[in-house]
């Protein structure tokens, strides 16, 4: 498969992931569409948790606990993304 044939689309949390993937490896994607992305994952986590929505558990499963004083969870998520990239299966 040619690199020029890879397209990425994500909505909501997937839109957030699409933006991260684009920032991390911009040369990989022909086109990226981020539809209504979550732009502040920490605020989204807090809102979901306060409203009793289960999404906050998904966020914690991906990037660890999101405490107000711990902004390093983005660093952890980048490390996890790098590990996953090494072990990923072809699309």
Q: How confident is the model over 70-88, as pLDDT tens digits?
A: 555 555 666 666 665 666 5
Classify residue 62: in a domain, yes or no.
yes
CA separation for the pair 38, 88 (Å, rounded): 24
pTM above 0.75, yes or no: no
HSE at residue 4, side-chain half, CA atoms within 13 A, is 0
Classify residue 75: in a domain, yes or no.
yes
Band of residue 19 on the pLDDT scale cut at 50, 70, 90: confident
> What per-residue confidence (pLDDT) applies to 79?
65
Measure Cα distances from 34 to 48, 54, 65, 73, 83 in Å: 21, 22, 25, 22, 23
- The structural domain count of the chain equals 2
Domain that holds residue 60: 40-82
Nearest to 64 by CA among 52, 88, 80: 80
Classify residue 89: in a domain, yes or no.
no
Is the pLDDT score of 90 beyond 60?
Answer: no
């Amino acid at each position: 498969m040619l690199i020029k044939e890879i397209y990425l689309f994500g909505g909501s949390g997937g839109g957030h992931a699409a933006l991260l993937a684009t920032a991390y490896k911009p040369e990989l994607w022909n086109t990226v569409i981020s539809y209504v992305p979550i732009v502040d994952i920490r605020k989204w986590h807090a809102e979901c948790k306060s409203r009793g929505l289960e999404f906050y558990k998904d966020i914690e499963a991906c990037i660890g606990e999101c405490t107000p004083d711990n902004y390093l969870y983005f660093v952890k998520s980048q490390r996890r993304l790098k590990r996953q990239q090494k072990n990923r299966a072809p699309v």
